[in-house]
């Protein structure tokens, strides 16, 4: 209830979020990410959705489903040759990659490698990082929300209140 009241206040007084995800979609995806880490390696997913007034996440596509070897080294590495099937799926479903998420062993700050290798090098793209193998904080306020500015530069928006990423109900 408290979260509905704060959502209603935010609708009235803004600012609106830039990225939203229904709570059930987010929780289901996060639980699956946690499972795939086995508590000892990173895991991640492309977050597919629609670009409307704001970006809405509707589907997780896990990196190790796109490339079975993506998690083998303990850090996420995707073979670009494996991405064809993802783009085919996006076209068929009318979806695009609206954000990405990956899991870290400890904190939610970006590594040098995260900053140097954006999953989608598009200005405004949001990369979410879940700390502690997704076993503790999993919603905005306690997770990494990093926005790509282009030229390998990022803006850390993790601590913004309200956060540009909203998990829960939001009017269309």
Distance in Å, CB of 102 to Zn ion, minimum:
5
56 scored as a contact of Zn ion (CB under 5 A)? no
Q: Choose between 56 and 165: whose C-beta lies nearer to Zn ion.
A: 165
Cα–Cα distance measured from residue 155 to residue 102, given in angstroms and rounded to the nearest whole number: 17
Distance in Å, CB of 88 to Zn ion, minimum:
27
Q: Which range binds Zn ion by CB under 5 A, 28-36, 54-62, 80-88, 112-120?
A: 112-120
Residue with nearest beta carbon to Zn ion: 114
114 scored as a contact of Zn ion (CB under 5 A)? yes
Residue 152: asked if its preceding bond is cis (omega within 30°), the reply is no
Q: From the list 3, 6, 88, 111, which residue makes contact with Zn ion (rule: CB under 5 A)?
A: 111
Task: Please tell me the count of residues contacting Zn ion according to CB under 5 A.
Answer: 2
100 scored as a contact of Zn ion (CB under 5 A)? no
165-167, strands of its sheet edge to edge: 153-156, 144-150, 126-130, 96-103, 44-51, 55-62, 19-21, 165-167
3 scored as a contact of Zn ion (CB under 5 A)? no
Cα–Cα distance measured from residue 26 to residue 21, given in angstroms and rounded to the nearest whole number: 6
Q: Choose between 67 and 114: whose C-beta lies nearer to Zn ion.
A: 114
Q: Choose between 3 and 117: whose C-beta lies nearer to Zn ion.
A: 117
Comparing C-alpha atoms, which of 58, 60, 2, 56 is closest to residue 171?
Answer: 56
Cα–Cα distance measured from residue 113 to residue 5, given in angstroms and rounded to the nearest whole number: 39
**Phi-psi region for residue 152, left (φ > 0), alpha (ψ -120 to 50) or beta?**
left
Cα–Cα distance measured from residue 110 to residue 22, given in angstroms and rounded to the nearest whole number: 25
Interface with Zn ion (CB under 5 A): 111, 114
């Amino acid at each position: 209830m408290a979260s509905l009241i704060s959502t209603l206040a935010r609708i009235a007084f803004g600012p609106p979020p830039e990225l939203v995800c229904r709570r059930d979609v987010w929780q289901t995806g996060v639980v699956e990410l946690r499972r795939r880490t086995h508590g000892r390696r990173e895991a991640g997913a492309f977050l597919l959705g629609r670009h409307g007034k704001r970006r809405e996440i509707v589907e997780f596509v896990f990196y190790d489903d796109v490339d079975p070897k993506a998690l083998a080294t303990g850090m996420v590495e995707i073979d670009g040759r494996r991405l064809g099937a993802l783009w085919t799926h996006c076209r068929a479903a009318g979806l695009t990659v609206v954000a990405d998420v990956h899991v870290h062993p400890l904190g939610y700050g970006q590594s040098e490698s995260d900053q140097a290798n954006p999953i989608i090098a598009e200005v405004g793209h949001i990369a979410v990082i879940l700390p502690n193998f997704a076993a503790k904080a999993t919603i905005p306020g306690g997770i990494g929300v990093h926005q790509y500015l282009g030229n390998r530069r990022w803006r850390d928006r993790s601590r913004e209140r309200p956060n540009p990423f909203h998990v829960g109900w939001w009017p269309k």
